[in-house]
Amino acid sequence: MIKLANIRKKKNPLISVIVPTYQEEKYIEQTLIAISNQTLERNKYEIIVSDSNSKDKTIEIAKRYADKIVISDKRGIAVGRNLGAKYANGKYLVFIDADTIILPKTLEKIVKELKKYDCIIPKLFPSKPSFVLSLYFGIYNFVISFLNFFKAPQASGPFIAVKRKVFEKLNGFNEKLETYEDVDFIKRVSKIGKVKIINLPVITSTRRFEKEGKIRLALKYTLYSLLFNLFGIYIKNYRPAR
């Protein structure tokens, strides 16, 4: 079952910002406030919250900021992103996780970059820095920049900006993957278009690291990512962060 609420109609938005959610009442408001407070004119972008039938206050909070809310009984980050894109009207699609904060000039810069490239990936920074997390994210940013330089782009998905025509050509994210659907998507984009890593800081939550342990999760992410990227080995081992 799918429900669609048109809260504020946007005529021909340039960008559709899609935020997939499930039980995100602790994080969603700060994310949506950051998206709403952009230097890009508000009439040039729409905010779409794609929710997996949350039972907390996620939808109630989203109504204060979103232009559209799409609610589905189906779960999964790839499902949420694809469903939001289905109801998007923008020329460009920007996917932002519900626990991720963007700076005020982010969308303005994305518009400029997507005129030259097909997909844009920012650099990620932890919301609660520590030595381990600063080191992990520093290595992550270096590695994705290094791989992109050699035309082998890789990235995780707290923030992905892509041209709509490219997204549709690839049929979106692979809904069969519970994890690494973002890595898989970037790899497929790179085969048909240009991916660019830019010096655009995006702040993402460290809640998963706090829940599972910083060092343990950093090592696990690194190992699993290498296995998936180098050998196509997909390990289904994913605990909800909520």
* pLDDT tens for each residue of 17-42: 999 999 999 999 999 999 999 999 99
47 — pLDDT class (breaks 50, 70, 90): very high
Domains, the chain, ordered by start: 2-231 (3.90.550.10)
Task: Give the per-residue pLDDT at 94.
Answer: 98
**What's the mean pLDDT in 49-55?**
95
* 99 vs 136, more confident: 99
Label the pairing between strands 159-163 and 92-96: antiparallel
Task: Tell me if residue 50 falls in helix, strand or coil.
Answer: strand
pTM for the structure as a whole: 0.85
Distance CA 73, CA 137 (A): 34
Residue 173 identity (one-letter amino acid): F
Distance CA 133, CA 183 (A): 20
Residue 125 identity (one-letter amino acid): F
Task: Tell me if residue 53 falls in helix, strand or coil.
Answer: coil
58 pLDDT exceeds 60? yes
